[in-house]
Amino acid sequence: MATLEAIPGKLDGVLLVKPKIFADSRGSFTETFHAVKYRDLGIEKEFVQDNVSVSKQHVLRGLHFQRRYPQGKLVFCVVGEIYDVAVDIRPDSATFGQWEAHRLSAENYHQLFIPAGFAHGFLVLSETATVTYKCTDIYRPDDDAGIRWDDPALAIEWPVTTPILSDKDQQLPLLDS
């Protein structure tokens, strides 16, 4: 019995990962990462940093990326529900400037693998959300960059019109800036 399913996203390299949930009267068990099994899915990068983000409803974090040391990310919502967005910012990509989004939640256990070369952001849909993500490179504050969440050229269909943003995210430039 397979313990993992991966569905290719519309953007090259993005994968929606659906781990198997083993549930019974006691609760449930899910394997959230297994290097060999994920490598078999095509996620061959080594993860070198894990992060946890806790946010309240309508908080939008992103769209973030690193310029010289891009990070691939495996994103997983362990409490609540988020609307997770990946934007292709690879200059030579046929899908440059395109985006895709998936709902990740503690109920569905879905994960989103976003390869290096993408901007990433998420919006909290539930009262609170705890998001964990594995990264393929370490975070370097001096390499941090981003794109405005409401960039008209991207036309991302966020499920809220007035999100809660950090001061930093309110000042992010447009993609073509």
pLDDT digits (tens, 9 = 90+) for 137-172: 999 999 999 999 999 999 999 999 999 999 999 999
User: Is residue 16 in a domain?
Assistant: yes
User: Is residue 145 in a domain?
Assistant: yes
User: Is residue 175 in a domain?
Assistant: no
Indicate which residues carry an active-site annotation: 64, 133
pLDDT digits (tens, 9 = 90+) for 68-115: 999 999 999 999 999 999 999 999 999 999 999 999 999 999 999 999
What CATH number does residue 69 fall under? 2.60.120.10
User: Is residue 64 in a domain?
Assistant: yes
CA distance 161 to 164: 10
User: Is residue 25 in a domain?
Assistant: yes
Q: State residue 3's pLDDT score.
A: 75
CA distance 116 to 79: 25
Contact 139, 50 (CB under 8 A): no
Residue with the larger pLDDT of the pair 56 and 2: 56
Number of domains in the chain: 1
- 3-state SS record for the chain: CCCEEEEECCCCCCEEEEECEEEECCEEEECCCCHHHHHHCCCCCCCCEEEEEEEECCEEEEEEEECCCCCCEEEEEEECEEEEEEEECCCCCCCCCCEEEEEEECCCCCEEEECCCEEEEEEECCCEEEEEEEECCCCCHHHEEECCCCCCCCCCCCCCCCCECCHHHHCCCCCCC
- Candidates 93, 60, 85; CA nearest to 165 is 60
Domain interval for residue 87:
4-170
